[in-house]
Structure 1
Amino acid sequence: MTKFFMMVVFLGTIMLWIMMPTRTYKNKWQPYMRLKFGASTYFGATGTTLFMYMFPMILVACLGCVYLHFKKRKSPHHIDREIKGGVWSALRKPMLVKGPLGIVSVTEIMFLAMFVALLLWSFITYLRNKFATITPQSAAADGQYLWQAKLESAALRIGFIGNICLAFLFLPVARGSSLLPAVGLTSESSIKYHIWLGHMVIAIFTAHGLCYIIYWVSVHEISQMLMWDTKDISNLAGEISLVAGLVMWATTYPAVRRRFFEVFFYTHYLYIVFMLFFVFHVGISYTFISFPGFYIFMVDRFLRFLQSRDNIRLLSARILPSDTIELTFSKNPRLVYSPTSILFVNIPSISRLQWHPFTITSSSNLEAEKLSVVIKSEGKWSTKLYQRLSSSHQIDRLAVSIEGPYGPASTDFFRHEALVMVSGGSGITPFISVIRDMIATSQNQKCKIPKITLICAFKNSSEISMLHLVLPLSGLQTELSSDINIKIEAFITREKEPKSEATTEQIKTLWFKPSLSDQPISAILGPNSWLWLGGILSSSFLIFMIIIGIISRYYIYPIDHNTYKIYSWTSESIIYILVICVSIMATSSAAMFWNKKKYGNNVETKQVQNVELPSTTSSPISCGYNSMREIESSPQESLVQRTSLHYGERPNLTKLLLGVEGSSVGVLVCGPKKMRQKVAKICSTGLAKNLHFESISFSW
């Protein structure tokens, strides 16, 4: 019922977007809405957009929080098995494998087509209705040629279209938002939507600005570019906003982003300048049409800021061959996350500003007090970290801050009879968390575990040490359950034969000393985080409306009297922005401190402080995976018998995937772009009707 109500409210908002360019909206709907909401002495002209566009989206986000809270409480024993074929299964199959859009499903193409249709419908309808009123006589009366009048009108309508894209731009990057998981999406899987919308926003706004510049040059009013009207549209503010957007846009191209990641990362903070001057450009009243997504993002961003202030207790670091590190943190037992979740990590001693996402390899169901991530040394930041930890100089402590974990609200891998996970290099890390979660489920619940096939490709034999991480060092109650039917196919592509034991690289474990300021990783809003997030969204918005209502009634209205032409737009925008920020910061901080007090880390912190470490900072050295000694000597059932090593060849993915039996086979892939495309192509063919594709990509 909650999800249905969410859909009704959201579709109602979309209907407003569809009707906005029409004469019916302008002549009937808009006057009625202004009479109902825009004539108030408490909100003035902003009341129309505030209640018709801003309020519904905040309501949808709050309803999403309620839906996810009760979904989280749903019994995990209830599993709906995937059936072969079906309409929903067909809609999730990859439709396009190669191209600028990446790997996209039938559903994604449908929604993209509908969104583009909305943009075209709006633009064509705007132009048709406006051009019908522009005649040679009306243009001459304004001292313009006919083409100049039409160009000015078209430039304004192009800006209207950009606002539609801007309304959705920030929703995919609000990592903790309820809107994405409520429809089965995650922040990392939705990054591509942010990229699509970002290209649209900047391209449309650039066309908007260029059309106006051409118009001003043609009518000899180029000085309009420097105009900042405090009671109307501010051209200069719009140009500043556009320049900030163009700088961000220029650094997003792969050639720049991959080679100069720091430039890409730092310039993206210009989104603050972009949005601030956009508000100054169009005024706060019009801003509320496209502001809801940014409001939800602001709440999420401030909660992330609060969480990142804590120093996190780092327990150990395992240094694996092939420049790979496993970091293990202390975790609050109340913190629960789903497999394939990610954690954003900041290490101030390497970079105070850079945050990097890493896949969590541990399972909260198997390891209640520990959380692990694997970091592959590939960029400047990770290379510095590896060099620091692998150097001969011993490190007693490493200060770390985190944001997250972020991941799906729940996983439905159990709906399949079989599960095939295809990885390349460090792409194996999300599948480690899936396997560990399967192990925990087999121990604690009585439900059928899918048959697991792990296909992993490595360049060198040293990278096989990643398979050490499939089973945790601790957390298993007994030996590996017989319910776990797992087969591992490991391919070493650049070596034709195993290395001798004498040349095998070693694995080292570093243990870090605790600090009084260190805390375990905890959910910023406690175990009932979704309800608290809904409370923050609703209460901050309510407080904002109360404060603004008071300011408008007793300060702005006596000056302006709802004429919207006396009181400064810039001053009003600043007041609104400040009140929004104060409301969000006050409610978010209160919720965080309340949860910290109620579900605080006092017990865990005391445990951390009382930990006594071995006198040495490195654990006994174990041999590499070629000899399998570490796994064979462990109490769990050995994975060696279930592992097949193939040297000097690449996996025949077509043969391996089509050879998996089962009416429903879930196919997950994480690795290089070509590997993801090949697996998607196989799953989209008619030969693989039982294969259900899902890409896990972190290459944004």
Structure 2
Amino acid sequence: MSTSPAVVSVLRFILLLVFVGWLIIWIVLPTKTFRDSWRPNLQDHLTSTYFGDQGVNLVLFSFPVIFIAALSCVHLHLIQTRKSNKVSYSTYYSTSFASFWRRPASVKAPLGIVTAMELGFAVMFVALLVWSLTNYIHVGFAHLHNMHMKPIPGLKEWEAKLRSVSYRLGLTGNICLAFLFFPVTRGSSILAMFGLTSESSIKYHIWLGHLSMVLFAAHSLGYIIFWGITHQMAQMLEWSNSHVSNVAGEIAIICAMAMWVTSIPRARQKMFELFFYTHQLYVLYIVFYILHAGVSFFCTILPGIFLFIIDRYLRFLQSYQRAELVSARILPCETIELNFSKSQGLDYNPTSILFINVPSVSKMQWHPFTVTSNSHMEADKLSVVIKSLGSWSQKLYQQLSSNSVDHIQVSVEGPYGPTSLHFLRHKALVMISGGSGITPIISIIREIIFQSTKPDSHVPPVRLICAFKNSADLAMLQLLLPISVTPFNFTKLQLQIEAYVTRETQQQPPSDPHKLLQTLWFKPDPLDSPITLVLGQNTWLWLGAIISSSFFLFLFVLGIVNHFYIYPIDHNTGEHYHVSFICLWYMFLVCASIFIVSSAIFIWCKKQNAIEEGKRNQNAKLSTPATDIELQSSPHNHESLIAQATQVQYGTRPDLKKILLETKGSDIGVLVCGPRKMRHEVATVCSSSLAHNLQFESISFNW
């Protein structure tokens, strides 16, 4: 199936138009023009017995983003069906303008590595916050005793201004909250439209979290000071029927502070489990925030939360099924490779991430790992490599290396990954890894090997610079080649490997020569099933259907509840029906709509997947794969193939600055994955004026 480029271009233009319009609403929102002119006019037309005063916010803030998310799904589906998919992405990213904006603009703490585009958007977002706060304060000072504030006899002007500023700080923090959940929505069509993944966007979530917490902490502290100086500390125990609930706000800020403190880098690194479990308080935080702020503010932040709930529920539906773990390879460097069975229709791109939960190690913890297998070359297998570093991975390694298990229960979420192979756009690649950072490199090299098997293919030559602490870690290089590769396919790949062993001056003999490599085969379990796509082959189309259908179902049921139940009691006055009950209605209807629609589509897709998989298995039985001989004969060649391409240096570290600056070529893609210091060093070199030919791309999974 081929899609006209004109159709794709029109969709992009519509998406851009709606997105810009949505941003303009946020810019105009704090102004006097919006308050005194736009909103009253809109309320006259949109206020009804079905949606009350919230019709304005639903139209201005919720509908545009839901429309963008649903239409983005259609756009991504059309892109996938185009035969020129990868070429179009390559053309886009290879322009000099795009390359400039993707270059590192800052490599310093606390932001870390930030590209020129990221820095530009960050500056504009901060400018939006400053603009909003100053306008809110300016308008607020002109209406110190408006209807949002309870009149207090004898209130001094400076006290009224303190209350007004505290209130406006909360309004500004609401802007951050409106964007907070977009980066952590793993299957987001909006992130995919921007060429982002959830893993690469985690830093945006962190930045937004810090900004929102500063504003909300100042908002809370300002009110506490105001209540103290006006002798109203009893207000802290108020849960109003018609106004904001102070108690709910206090519970929300306590939950938020707990998440904030434990997310500080030093605390997170030393006490990851505390950070992980504390961060689950986000559910209580959002619930009590909505009970505190009311449905008006809920409708402004609804899109991010709505899309996140859809993603979270689909992840739950996938993780509820146990994944079929076929085997595990235990390497001598305390590294394990887990091999899962997968459906042949499951395709994914290099550097994709699979989240894994092993109940026998920890029932609650989920950990992300890079998928190292190639979906084209290994049609029925999905592999991840886990280096024994933290307490969770060490427990898993000890459990497997004991050889006392014949089956392990595993649940997975994903895989999640980029929508394009943009690294193939470069004329040459320099890949730099440190320790376990070689795992995403494995997936990229395997993809390049596959691309090299295509007729008239042109793949970039690859220079791999990898640093390991011990010589035993060199065994990870054997994972670069899939078991199905042949010497002919490997010679078509121009691969040069330079390995550095930093803590040893010469190769050390293995501690146990009889256990160089162990392979464990697990007994099949009828409750296990191959890893499949949650929504089948047409994932983006079904996701778009879930987003649009669940949102319209929410609006439909909300309109019925408002028209036939709430309005007869309250008549849109906000005085006769408890405001907290209205908030609970909104939250319940959002969740119920998502659960109903998502469950129905998931069940349908699961049945279709089973039918398609049965047809594939039947066809597989009727035909004998031509690669069977290959699979049996090729493994013993892997070690020699890798050894021929590898140069090992002991007792030294790679001089990355010298290596990069001496690299010749007009378009060199530099991919680095490893410790923070290594990534920053490479980014500094690539951002210098002496490295115009180097295009930096960091692959980082360290928050």
TM-score calculated relative to the size of structure 2: 0.93
Q: 1:334-349 residue pairs with structure 2 within 5 A?
A: 334-349=345-360
The one-letter amino acid of 2:346's match is: L
Q: 1:417-436 residue pairs with structure 2 within 5 A?
A: 417-436=427-446
Measured in 2, the distance between the counterparts of 1:77 and 1:590 equals 33
The one-letter amino acid of 1:158's match is: L
Q: What residue number does 1:223 align with?
A: 234
Q: What residue number does 2:392 align with?
A: 381
**1:311 Cα offset (Å):** 0.9
Structure 2 CA distance for partners of 1:269 and 1:487, relative to 1, 3 Å: same
Measured in 2, the distance between the counterparts of 1:169 and 1:442 equals 41
**1:459 Cα offset (Å):** 0.3
1:472 to 482, 493, 501: 482
Structure 2 CA distance for partners of 1:521 and 1:632, relative to 1, 3 Å: closer
1:518 and 1:605 in contact (8 A); partners too: no
**Deviates most, 11-20 or 454-463:** 11-20
Q: What residue number does 1:69 align with?
A: 77
**Deviates most, 147-156 or 47-56:** 47-56
Q: 1:442-521 residue pairs with structure 2 within 5 A?
A: 442-473=452-483, 475-476=484-485, 479-500=488-509, 506-521=516-531
**1:521 Cα offset (Å):** 0.6
1:413 to 399, 423, 429: 423
Measured in 1, the distance between the counterparts of 2:300 and 2:170 equals 13
Structure 2 CA distance for partners of 1:445 and 1:35, relative to 1, 3 Å: farther
**Deviates most, 450-459 or 661-670:** 661-670
1:668 and 1:696 in contact (8 A); partners too: yes
The one-letter amino acid of 1:146's match is: E
1:15 and 2:24 equivalent?
yes
1:534 and 2:544 equivalent?
yes
**1:215 Cα offset (Å):** 0.5
Measured in 2, the distance between the counterparts of 1:356 and 1:452 equals 30
2:174 and 2:297 in contact (8 A); partners too: no
1:671 and 2:674 equivalent?
yes
The one-letter amino acid of 2:66's match is: I
- Partner of 2:133: helix, strand, or coil? helix
2:210 and 2:260 in contact (8 A); partners too: yes
Measured in 2, the distance between the counterparts of 1:463 and 1:695 equals 22
Give percent identity, aligned residues only: 48
2:287 to 276, 283, 290: 276
**Deviates most, 514-523 or 68-77:** 68-77
Q: 1:5-154 residue pairs with structure 2 within 5 A?
A: 5-38=14-47, 40-75=48-83, 76=85, 78=87, 80=90, 86-134=96-144, 142-154=153-165
Structure 2 CA distance for partners of 1:151 and 1:513, relative to 1, 3 Å: same
Q: What residue number does 2:624 align with?
A: none
Q: What residue number does 1:680 align with?
A: 683
Unaligned runs of 5+ in 1: 612-629
C-alpha RMSD of the superposition: 2.3
Q: What residue number does 2:625 align with?
A: none
**1:87 Cα offset (Å):** 2.6
Measured in 2, the distance between the counterparts of 1:516 and 1:84 equals 48
Q: Higher helix share goes to which structure?
A: 2
**Deviates most, 62-71 or 205-214:** 62-71
Measured in 2, the distance between the counterparts of 1:366 and 1:659 equals 34
Measured in 2, the distance between the counterparts of 1:23 and 1:87 equals 38
1:698 and 2:696 equivalent?
no
1:239 and 2:242 equivalent?
no
Unaligned runs of 5+ in 2: 1-9, 622-632
Measured in 1, the distance between the counterparts of 2:470 and 2:604 equals 50
**1:662 Cα offset (Å):** 2.1
Measured in 2, the distance between the counterparts of 1:203 and 1:60 equals 30
**1:549 Cα offset (Å):** 0.8
1:639 to 630, 638, 642: 642
Residues 654-695 of structure 1: CA deviation (Å, up to 9, x unaligned)? 222223232111111100000000000010011111111011
Structure 2 CA distance for partners of 1:562 and 1:535, relative to 1, 3 Å: same
Q: 1:477-626 residue pairs with structure 2 within 5 A?
A: 479-500=488-509, 506-600=516-610, 603=613
**1:323 Cα offset (Å):** 1.2
Measured in 1, the distance between the counterparts of 2:560 and 2:285 equals 29
**1:121 Cα offset (Å):** 0.6
Measured in 1, the distance between the counterparts of 2:617 and 2:364 equals 30
The one-letter amino acid of 1:675's match is: M
Measured in 1, the distance between the counterparts of 2:150 and 2:343 equals 69
1:83 and 1:664 in contact (8 A); partners too: no
1:443 and 1:481 in contact (8 A); partners too: no
The one-letter amino acid of 2:541's match is: L
Structure 2 CA distance for partners of 1:83 and 1:273, relative to 1, 3 Å: closer
- Partner of 1:649: helix, strand, or coil? coil
The one-letter amino acid of 1:487's match is: Q
**Deviates most, 251-260 or 184-193:** 251-260
1:250 to 261, 276, 281: 261
**1:72 Cα offset (Å):** 1.4
Measured in 2, the distance between the counterparts of 1:448 and 1:676 equals 28
1:212 and 2:223 equivalent?
yes
**1:133 Cα offset (Å):** 4.5
Measured in 1, the distance between the counterparts of 2:360 and 2:287 equals 32
Measured in 2, the distance between the counterparts of 1:590 and 1:2 equals 28
Measured in 1, the distance between the counterparts of 2:253 and 2:152 equals 32
**1:606 Cα offset (Å):** 11
Structure 2 CA distance for partners of 1:132 and 1:501, relative to 1, 3 Å: closer
- Partner of 1:12: helix, strand, or coil? helix
1:13 and 1:56 in contact (8 A); partners too: yes
Residues 16-44 of structure 1: CA deviation (Å, up to 9, x unaligned)? 11111111101110011111212x11111
Measured in 2, the distance between the counterparts of 1:35 and 1:464 equals 71
- Partner of 1:587: helix, strand, or coil? helix
Measured in 2, the distance between the counterparts of 1:657 and 1:66 equals 41
Q: What residue number does 1:615 align with?
A: none
TM-score calculated relative to the size of structure 1: 0.93
The one-letter amino acid of 2:113's match is: I
**1:255 Cα offset (Å):** 2.0
Measured in 2, the distance between the counterparts of 1:472 and 1:418 equals 22
The one-letter amino acid of 2:649's match is: H
1:333 and 1:369 in contact (8 A); partners too: yes
Measured in 2, the distance between the counterparts of 1:653 and 1:92 equals 20
Measured in 2, the distance between the counterparts of 1:534 and 1:631 equals 43
Measured in 2, the distance between the counterparts of 1:565 and 1:48 equals 20
The one-letter amino acid of 2:238's match is: M
Measured in 2, the distance between the counterparts of 1:126 and 1:246 equals 25
Count of matched residue pairs: 676
Measured in 2, the distance between the counterparts of 1:471 and 1:83 equals 28
The one-letter amino acid of 1:31's match is: P
Measured in 1, the distance between the counterparts of 2:209 and 2:261 equals 11
Structure 2 CA distance for partners of 1:10 and 1:478, relative to 1, 3 Å: same
Measured in 2, the distance between the counterparts of 1:47 and 1:477 equals 63
